[in-house]
Structure 1
Amino acid sequence: MLKLNFYIFWFMILFIGSMIFLYMGFLFMFMNYSFFFEWEFFNLNSLSLCYLIFFDWMSLMFCFVVFFISSMVLIYSSIYMGVNSYSSKRFLYLVLLFIISMIMMILSPNLISILLGWDGLGIVSYCLVIYYQSNSSFLSGMITCLTNRLGDIGLLIMICWLFSYGGWHFIFYTNFYSSMIFYVIFISSFTKSAQIPFCCWLPAAMAAPTPVSSLVHSSTLVTAGVYLLIRFYNSLYYLNCYFLLMSLLTMLISSFCANYEFDLKKIIALSTLSQLGLMMSSLFLGMQELSFFHLLSHAMFKSLLFLCAGIYIFYMNDNQDIRYMGSVCLFMPYTSTCFNISNFSLCGMPFLSGFYSKDLIIESSLLMNLNLLTFLLYYFSLGLTCMYSFRLFYYTMIYNCKFMKFYMIYDSFNLMKFSIFMLTIMSVFFGCLYSWVSGISLFFIFLPLNLKLMSLFFIILGVMMGYDLFNFSYMLNMNYYYFNSLMWFMYFHSYYLYNYFYIFVYNSTGVLNWGEYYGAYGVSFYILKISNIFQFYFINNLKIFLFTFFVWLIFMI
């Protein structure tokens, strides 16, 4: 009997589905269609339970990207995770649950059904982060899960609040909501998209297997918050300088930290954080379609970057330290070519996929009446992106190999190489195809020559600084390098905050924490007291009953 490979089977389904979504997305874009479906689950008397699905060009294009990257990740995982073990089947089902949760979130215009997908993403991502069942992955999973729960609280508040507006179909009523509703949704999306001050969980989630990292940090979990903000878009509340500054600081901090990091996957995770800051900042400048364009093009080259990093880790005995990875291009020329294409696309190198969206965002932002601080932060972050990208390139490609003597890697073509080949094609051509077909680049941006060349100047400056950073000796105080490699002490702020609250609560209640004092422990304590009073009342003799009867009789008269 022929044994079916489930990975290949689901790869075919998702790949065919992605092509259908691509065709439908372009059709809906040309015809300006929007379809709204109500799928009735349950109907009893006057109670009707429906699930709502909303198709427009934006949701269909995003579904195409999610399905395409998921199909490539699955066929890659068939080699990376091993096909024949039971744990690999568990991994497959978890990834499929993750994709279903994301599609539920993308296609629904209703906050209740969005909460189902949003919660599903949080729970399944926790299961995937703790997949290797070590102590470090458990702690990383806890950070990931608990930070995402904060965003769920914001969505629950939104659901209760929108009840007063008469319905949860938010997509038609964004012009009628008050400003506080938008601020709640901003903070909820910041937890999912790991903006300041919730950015600690994204590097920690690297404890997951590499195919999961590729899927989670390119097109699904971290982009859910950006997609929700695009759906809730209202220019009256989105043009906000405070949230713009937070997203720009996220770009700056993550780019700084990536320059002092030696873990390959963490460097790529911090670059994801930097790009999320760029998407958020373009949203808060009012560039909704450009933010969505960068979300799609970033998903293509970032998933490729993760999958190439996974091949390096796979062939180098699970080594993730870039200091041991020198001269990989001699052993694996094909993988190194794909890796460098995605790296250059991340930098915004002209005529690759990332260039079309990044360059449009930065040049359009110059027309938005920026102050000097925002202008400098934008360009400085652009230079830092090239800086850590070139540092990564230098360590992995040019640096002398420090790994093992007599170590030989053969770069044969298999299913892993097929998946990165397909993603490389998309990383090169997707940006220009999308910008031409959607007409997003048809407007002409007229700038002075020095501003027009400013982005290219910062790319070259970043490359030079990255080369210098590779050669640096520890000239500054060691605390400076600790500060930059530990996310600007973000973890420790949360520890001091917890410590302060714990001491405050301990002093105020004596023994119990406030959650226990006013929660389940306190309730059980008072229930016990009340039951003791009733017991005392019932086991006494008849005169207490007669006396209370007499009191009630007087009261009733």
Structure 2
Amino acid sequence: MNKISICNIMSMFLLMFSMSMFLMSLKFMLKDLVLFIEWEIFSLNSCSVFMTILLDWMSLLFMSFVCFISSMVIFYSKEYMLGDKYINRFIMLVMMFVLSMLFLIISPNLISILLGWDGLGLVSYCLVIYYQNVKSYNAGMITALSNRIGDVALLMAIAWMLNYGSWNYIFYLECMKTDFYMQIISWLVLLAAMTKSAQIPFSSWLPAAMAAPTPVSSLVHSSTLVTAGVYLLIRFNFALNNNLLMFLLLISILTMFMSGLGANFEYDLKKIIALSTLSQLGLMMSILALGNYNLAFFHLLTHALFKALLFMCAGCMIHNLKDTQDIRFMGGLVNQMPLTCTCMNIANLALCGMPFLAGFYSKDLILEMVMMSNINIFIFLLFFISTGLTVSYSFRLVYYSVTGDFNFNSLHSLNDEGWVMLKGMMSLVIMVILGGSMLMWLIFPTPSMICLPLYLKMLTLFCCLMGAWLGYEISKFHLSWESKSLMFYNFSFYSGSMWFMPMISTFSMNYFPLILGYQISKNIDQGWNEYLGGQGIFYLIQKNSVFLQSLQKNNLKIFLLLFLIWIFILFFFMFI
């Protein structure tokens, strides 16, 4: 089977599967069906381990979106990874990644969820280190170790769930809500979701994972790895108590604000989009913490569409610019790559919440729900400042890459002739334009009653316009204004990256144990242990054996000396 055909076959298979899942989800939604399939693997005393599959409108719709985006990404990879000798291995890794996610989506059982969860973690490590260099290895290690914390939390939740005699958590969420064991399980699940969805203080792995090939980034940041945590919390939403939700709200809002602020000072194209993903994950988590889990799921799906498209466009630009990711080398790309830039602008506007694109339906509804919620002014302000920052970094990105002056080499081969990549992107553009309204009709068939005064109704639009203006101004005066007035912020951001988070969550975790290990190794393993143990005993035996050897060389002097000593001892004992 040649290299091109495997991409086509996998892409077509996933697309067909996606369509069938979508039609099934429509049927389940209209008839309000839930299909629960289980079979017993083994039973030990009072605990039975079941293999369980839960099919309802939510799992089927999510599977449909995951498969659709994956099919486009694999089709896109056919051209993007064309020069790769091991493209078949890459496609198989991506397929394993997608299958792990599908397995996680249909599992209402903590043990089967752990299989999908760990599958995502392990395959993501293989994909992040795909380009084998030191930077990729470091990024892969941060990704794997951060996600291990969540895996351990999930294992502990499984251990606590033993109290109920079954791991099908879906049965116990509402009836056991006030139970102490269920509260412990909920906190552990929250910890697992926070690591997978990169909330503070586990945010440092998400921008680091950009070392992976761009099609992988497109998949990871849209519908698979990072959304697993949000999806798990959506499934667990009935068991989450008020204290837990308040904690989640604070953490997610701070994540949203931190990543939005950070993206405005970043020059790496992929890192800006990665920080944008982090901001949107914070938005999903925060609306989930306010009790609107359907709305969080709605934004999860719309975000998946425009974020996958955004990464595909970024990949196309990087591909054409000879693997350059710095946005300062771009500029005026609309003249050379009009179709790619059109797609990127549509995705960017959807991210900003431009009316009647996919992002608008979910973001606008989320912000209006926030205005109607019972929250304090701090959370309220952070919500709207973060929304403004989203528009700001999006317009800054457009200014640097699409418009402005051309800053690349005078001798270049920029073109829009990657038709395979463009076809993959065009399919997603249609969904980015139409997907939001379609999902709105499906998920919220009854309109929500939103009652707000005019100034609050216009607040979202005002924040977006202010953000767009700010993004343009930052871009225009970046050399003078940004470097002088925000020197302190630049220092704290670049030296510590994201409020010193890698220092706190990664470096501190590695540094002190490694120093301790070095001291133990130096002073005990290679110090006193050697002196009193193996090496010391060896030297003692060696010294004694040398002495004995010198005695046994049959030297006449030694023989006569020993004879005299023996005679002396004999006489001594005789006369005593």
TM-score (norm 1): 0.88
The letter of the residue matching 2:97 is: F
1:213 is matched with 217
Does the CA-based 8 Å contact 1:130-1:141 persist in structure 2? Answer: yes
SS of residue paired to 1:132: coil
1:549 is matched with none
Alpha-carbon separation, structure 1, partners of 2:406 and 2:252? 38
Q: How many residues align?
A: 514
1:374 is matched with 379
1:260 is matched with 265
Deviation for aligned residue 1:402: 1.0
1:555 is matched with none
- Post-superposition CA distance 1:126-184 (Å, at most 9, x none): 00000000110000000000000000000000000000111100012112153222111
Alpha-carbon separation, structure 1, partners of 2:345 and 2:59? 30
The letter of the residue matching 2:56 is: D
Pick one of 186, 189, 196 that aligns with 1:192: 196
1:173 is matched with 172
Pick one of 315, 337, 344 that aligns with 2:342: 337
Does the CA-based 8 Å contact 2:199-2:255 persist in structure 1? Answer: yes
Deviation for aligned residue 1:123: 0.3
- Post-superposition CA distance 1:62-114 (Å, at most 9, x none): 0001000000000000111117x541011011001001111110001111110
TM-aligned CA distance change 1:3 to 1:15, over 3 Å? same
Alpha-carbon separation, structure 1, partners of 2:287 and 2:442? 21
TM-aligned CA distance change 1:134 to 1:510, over 3 Å? closer
The letter of the residue matching 1:300 is: L
- Post-superposition CA distance 1:215-235 (Å, at most 9, x none): 011100000000000011126
- Post-superposition CA distance 1:485-524 (Å, at most 9, x none): 41111112233455456667889999579xxxxxxx9xxx
Alpha-carbon separation, structure 2, partners of 1:454 and 1:391? 22
Pick one of 480, 483, 486 that aligns with 2:489: 480
Deviation for aligned residue 1:482: 2.5
Matched, 1:277 2:276: no
Alpha-carbon separation, structure 2, partners of 1:78 and 1:478? 43
When Rg is computed on C-alpha atoms for both structures, the one with the higher figure is 2
1:20 is matched with 20
2:138 is matched with 139
Alpha-carbon separation, structure 1, partners of 2:509 and 2:26? 49
Work out the percentage of aligned pairs sharing the same amino acid.
Answer: 50
Pick one of 491, 510, 516 that aligns with 2:502: 491
Residues 402-411 or 471-480, more deviating: 471-480
Does the CA-based 8 Å contact 2:223-2:304 persist in structure 1? Answer: yes
TM-aligned CA distance change 1:8 to 1:499, over 3 Å? closer
SS of residue paired to 1:52: strand
Pick one of 469, 482, 485 that aligns with 1:464: 469
SS of residue paired to 1:398: coil
TM-aligned CA distance change 1:234 to 1:260, over 3 Å? same
Alpha-carbon separation, structure 2, partners of 1:307 and 1:498? 34
SS of residue paired to 2:485: coil
Matched, 1:311 2:316: yes
- Runs of 5+ consecutive residues of structure 1 not aligned to the other structure: 514-520, 526-557
Does the CA-based 8 Å contact 2:298-2:443 persist in structure 1? Answer: no
- Please, what is the CA RMSD of the aligned residues? 2.5
TM-aligned CA distance change 1:47 to 1:162, over 3 Å? closer
The letter of the residue matching 1:55 is: L
Pick one of 220, 226, 229 that aligns with 2:230: 226
TM-score (norm 2): 0.85
2:60 is matched with 60
The letter of the residue matching 2:270 is: K
TM-aligned CA distance change 1:456 to 1:362, over 3 Å? same
Deviation for aligned residue 1:468: 1.2
Runs of 4 or more, structure 1, over 3 Å off, are 1-4, 39-50, 496-513
- Runs of 5+ consecutive residues of structure 2 not aligned to the other structure: 534-576
Pick one of 207, 214, 227 that aligns with 1:203: 207
The letter of the residue matching 1:183 is: W
TM-aligned CA distance change 1:40 to 1:174, over 3 Å? closer
Pick one of 382, 393, 399 that aligns with 2:404: 399
Pick one of 401, 410, 414 that aligns with 1:409: 414
SS of residue paired to 1:420: helix
SS of residue paired to 1:336: helix
Does the CA-based 8 Å contact 1:235-1:286 persist in structure 2? Answer: no
SS of residue paired to 2:37: strand
SS of residue paired to 2:137: helix
Alpha-carbon separation, structure 2, partners of 1:123 and 1:35? 30
Alpha-carbon separation, structure 1, partners of 2:426 and 2:74? 14
- Post-superposition CA distance 1:10-43 (Å, at most 9, x none): 1111000000010011110110000011256689
Deviation for aligned residue 1:478: 3.3
Matched, 1:439 2:444: yes
